[in-house]
Structure 1
Amino acid sequence: MNIRKLGVTGGFAFTPEVHRDRRGLFVSPLQESAFATAIGGRFPVAQTNHSVSARNVLRGVHFTVVPPGQAKYVYCARGRALDVMVDIRVGSPTFGQWEATELDAESYQAVYFPEGVGHAFLALEDDTTMSYLVSSGYRAEQEKGIDPLDPELGLPWPAGIRPLLSDRDAAAPSLAEAEALGLLPRYVDCLPGQG
């Protein structure tokens, strides 16, 4: 397993070895020992989620209220996606910064999102299937979003596409508006043992 530290504080990318033969392939996108080496503890899986998206579907920027917060471990099980991590934790050394990683069903690279970090992705192919392991269960009232097309964030969506957004994502506030409304998590509340 190859581990790469990302530019957003607490974010990591994990690339497992893919075993291929005439029958197909076998891969382990999450390996506890590699995760513990990078993060310093186990990933507490409370729920698994799957999304299937048509090409140019843009989901996010999503985050969960802290506390309780929600960490995510995300990989692409089919197709390709441009996956983006956005640091929305007020007081974080990397607040407002983002990191983009292309995820696909060839490398099975996975991205770890610590609590309080925003997540968005753009499906680059039809039937792109994203698999999420999350540290807490879904509660609609705790799910929030930021405009993925916020020009101040300048997320790296490819030029010339017409992204398809949900009504919720299209109506989401900008990062500055979310901060002014007090919607964003505080970095100090996202540190281990604080949430």
Structure 2
Amino acid sequence: MHSPVQLIRSKRHGDTRGWFTEVYSEPKFTTLGITCTFVQDNHSLSVPAFTLRGLHFQTPPKGQDKLVRCIRGRIFDVAVDIRKGSPTYGHWVGAELSAENGHQLFIPIGFAHGFMTLEPDCEVTYKCSDIYAPDHDGGIRWDSVGIDWPLPDGTAPELSAKDKVQPTLAEFDSPFPYDGRPLAPFA
């Protein structure tokens, strides 16, 4: 059984011209247990270093699986288990995604997602399994989960007005059911 959140390390094929990689292949992802259909692609630019976006999700019935990658710069990308009844509720995993390493993070429905830029001018793209639905938009405070964000001492993250006032994890009443797959560290 695969962990619900997965770090995808795509193979790059390179020569003197550069490199090529498959970002998404339905048959290959199916072997990893990722069987959702992606219907929307998003692209963001974060100009200042230490911009923090998150922790976000969409509630049922408009939940979103996400496949996230950084195409310029470096980010610290995280997923937090918010499935009611999960033995790993409130636990998180994180990984550095960068244009250089080409890694991607798959975040299924039932997990809050967020990232922090580690340098200026970062661009992030991600696929979603459902369209944006403002009435189902949700979040929890970035600092209420115990995530070890790689912030330099004395540095506060750049936050949106919305992210500054999200409820804490303790205040959140999760509508997401546990599916029997606990969150596991990345191999």
For normalisation by structure 1, the TM-score amounts to: 0.84
In structure 2, the residue matched to 1:85 is 79
Aligned to 2:100: 106
List 4+ stretches of structure 1 deviating above 6 A. Answer: none
Partner of 1:154: 146
| Residue number in structure 2 paired with 1:118 | 112
Q: TM-score, normalised by structure 2?
A: 0.88
Residues 62 and 133 of structure 2 are in contact (CA less than 8 Å); yes or no, is this contact kept in structure 1?
no
Relative to its length, the structure with more helix (as a share) is: 1
Match of 2:126 in 1: 132
Q: Matched residues in 2 for 1:185 and 1:24: separation?
A: 45
* CA displacement at 1:25 relative to structure 2: 2.2
RMSD: 1.6
Q: Gaps spanning 5+ residues in structure 2: where?
A: 181-187
Pick one of 28, 50, 56 that aligns with 1:34. Answer: 28
Percent of pairs identical after alignment?
38
Q: Distance in 2 between matches of 1:92 and 1:29?
A: 30
Q: Using CA pairs under 8 Å that are at least 6 residues apart, name the structure with larger relative contact order, 1 or 2.
A: 2
SS for the counterpart of 2:19 is strand
* Structure 2 residue aligned with 1:172: 166
- Which residue does the alignment assign to 1:185? 175
Structure 1 spans left out of the alignment, 5+ residues: none
SS of alignment partner, residue 43 of structure 1: coil
Alignment partners' CA distance in 2, 1:85 and 1:126: 22
**Deviations 1:117-168 (CA, angstroms, capped at 9, x unpaired):** 1001000111111111000000111111100011xx1111124232000000
Cα distance in 1, alignment partners of residues 129 and 176 from structure 2: 18
User: SS of the residue aligned with 2:127?
Assistant: strand
In the alignment, what sits opposite 1:14? 8
